[in-house]
Amino acid sequence: MDFPFAISDRQNQVGREDSSQVQMRLSSLLIAAMMMTSAPAVWGQESSDDLVARLVQESQKHAIPRNLSPTDPLFQAESYAAGLAADVSEFNVWMIEIIKAYAHRGDFNSAAYLAKRLPGSGNGLAHAEIAALLAASPGRQSEAESYLKVARKELNQVSGLPAELMRARCALALYYLGRESEAMSLEAELGKLELLSLNTRLHEANLLPAISLLDAKRLLVTLTEQGNDERQARFLLACAQQHFKKGSPELAKPFLEEIGTMAMERGLPTAQRVLLDLARTAHAGGQALLANKSMNLFLKCCEGYSDNAEWKAPFLAAAAEILIEWKRLDEARAWLKAAEATIPKIFVMDAPAAMLAIARQRAKLDGPDSAEPLLLASARAGRSHSHPRFLAETAVRICLHAEAVSTPVSAEVTGILNPADVEVKP
């Protein structure tokens, strides 16, 4: 009811203006338009087509240019992610993975372009991730501030887990930037789990002083919640890594022994997953005996898992990755073969992630061609389920895999993924 009255009042007001006033108002508007578009002094010298082109050019002058090939795997991933848009939360999760992949590539231009377009809490989360990555990049730290500003503003609009994640990433960025007092004010609002994860990241990055095992265990007492065994183990691992980097292996080793005890006492499978990271850390720190013991213990645990456990194949692939790093290639191939044998026995919606985990290590061992059968199988699995979001998620996974191994998605895989109504546009 208010809207028609507003129109009527406006019409009456215009009707009361005499012709000279109307002419003056129109002249002012034309002059302003000419100034905004840099139009020639004589209006008639510019055709309507030229004027439209000039207006379009002006409207785009602040747009972010993107020079990406249609076959760029991350650009393809963006297109496939559109199939997840009906579920805003899931869409944001995968788009942030794509944004982080662009950032790790060094293309912060594309990362920023996408971050600004995410709905809901995704906007703030993406900006917080970019801020943390830039803050950790020597020579680019000054660029982090604009993203940090957006993320901190968005914090006022969200709650729950998105707010926790956003706050933790902002605090991490502030630590990298040397603004500890601001970071600590954000820390004070974090729940125990995210505070523990933040402390892990800070010790990994050597942004907090190294601490003893006793002090670390005291801290864990204050941050312990049910079901966070893996987070506790990863915190201890970060502390051990910090001591190794500082050249103090004698202080690091007790942490690793504590993690091994935790992994075996607290059950399957999450705490035991840390045994792999323990093996990698021990090996890098010159503790070969402990590294081999941890790896063998982890593989023995994996053998005890049922073949229909969805985590078995990815766990074995992760073990193969470390064996490849250690140049134990025959062992890596044997465990990848064992991982592949489990694929027919797991639920179809878990299969693509498992196959891609194996494919990534196959590519390292024997080149990208050796991974192609697994990529084809993954694409077919994505097409086999009736839910369209499953195909979209599988396609995004495949594109992220292609980015990770620096290989384009093959025409054969693309042919399976692309439904008739999806077009990848340049």
So what's the pLDDT on residue 387?
83
Same domain, 184 and 210: no
DSSP secondary structure letters along 378-416: HHHHHHHSS-HHHHHHHHHHHHHHHHHTT-PPPHHHHHH
Same domain, 80 and 184: yes
Local structure of 369: helix, strand or coil: helix
More confident residue, 35 or 283: 283
Same domain, 176 and 269: no
Choose the final residue of a domain: 250, 270, 304. 304
Global confidence as pTM? 0.80
Nearest in space to 126 (alpha carbons), one of 98, 96, 102: 96
Q: What is the mean pLDDT of the segment spanning 229-245?
A: 91
CA distance 146 to 137: 15
Same domain, 261 and 329: no
Number of structural domains the chain divides into: 3
Same domain, 116 and 170: yes
The verdict on residue 309 lying in a domain is no
The verdict on residue 42 lying in a domain is no
Nearest in space to 220 (alpha carbons), one of 196, 242, 253, 184: 196
Q: Which amino acid is at 198?
A: L
Q: Per residue in 71-91, pLDDT tens? A: 999 999 999 999 999 999 999
More confident residue, 272 or 240: 240
The verdict on residue 2 lying in a domain is no
Q: How far is CA 180 from CA 173, 177, 189, 202, 208, in A?
A: 10, 8, 15, 12, 10
Q: What is the mean pLDDT of the segment spanning 250-266?
A: 86
Same domain, 211 and 181: no
The verdict on residue 34 lying in a domain is no
Q: Look at residue 70 and tell me whether its pLDDT is greater than 50.
A: yes
Q: What is the mean pLDDT of the segment spanning 267-288?
A: 82
Domain that holds residue 257: 199-304
Sign of CA dihedral 111, 115, 121, 127: positive
| Residue 99 CB partners (closer than 8 Å, separation 6+) | 111, 114, 115, 126, 129, 130
Q: Look at residue 19 and tell me whether its pLDDT is greater than 60.
A: no
More confident residue, 16 or 414: 414
Q: What is the mean pLDDT of the segment spanning 221-227?
A: 75
Same domain, 354 and 403: yes
Q: Per residue in 149-197, pLDDT tens? A: 999 999 989 999 999 999 999 999 999 999 999 999 999 999 998 999 9
Q: Per residue in 297-353, pLDDT tens? A: 899 888 888 888 888 999 999 999 999 999 999 999 999 999 999 999 998 899 999
The first and second tokens of residue 262, run together, are 């935790």
Same domain, 213 and 186: no
